[in-house]
Amino acid sequence: MIGTTELMIILGVAALIFGSSKLPSIARDVGKALGEVNKAEKELEKLKSDFTSEIQSSIQDPIQSSIQSTIDSAIGSEQEMISEEESSEPDDIEEFPEPGRDHEPDIEDRIKGEAVKYIGSKFKSKMFR
C-alpha cells in the first residue's frame, strides 16, 4: 500500500510533468482504468470457478462414483466371504484331547515309578548296611 508521503511525492511529480490543469482529468482516467482492471479481475475469477466446477461435474464426479462403487462391491464380497466362513463348519479339523487330562496319567505314572524306585533304593541301602 502506498503511504501518505509517497502519494504526495507522486502527485508533485505528476503536477510538474503534466501541469496542474490536466491533473484532475488524468486522475479521473486512472480511476476509470483501475475500475476496469478490478472488473476484469472479478470476471476472470468467476470464469475460473465456473470452469473448475464444470470439470468437476463432468470428469471428477463420474470417476469418483466409479471408484466408490468398486470399493463398495469389494467390501460387499469380502463381507459375504466372512459370513460364509463363519456359518460353515469345517469338516477336516481333528479333535484333540483336552490338554492335561489324557496326558496326566502318563506323567503321574512315570513320577510314581521314579519315586518308588528312589524310595526302594534308599530303603535297600539302609536295610542292607
**How do residues 45-58 score in pLDDT, each as one tens digit?**
999 999 988 888 88
**pLDDT value for 129:** 56
d(CA 110, CA 114): 6
Mean pLDDT of 58-78: 86
Mean pLDDT of 28-50: 93
Using alpha carbons only, how large is the chain's radius of gyration in Å? Answer: 49
d(CA 89, CA 125): 61
Residue type, 94: E
d(CA 101, CA 108): 11
**How do residues 75-111 score in pLDDT, each as one tens digit?**
888 888 888 777 766 656 666 666 655 555 577 777 8
Mean pLDDT of 62-75: 87
Is the pLDDT confidence value at 42 over 90? yes
Mean pLDDT of 14-31: 86
**Cell digits of residue 1:** 500500500
d(CA 43, CA 90): 69
Q: Where are the domains of the chain?
A: 25-82
How many Å from the N-terminal Cα to the C-terminal Cα in the chain? 119
d(CA 23, CA 16): 10
Could you give the percent of the chain with pLDDT greater than 70? 80
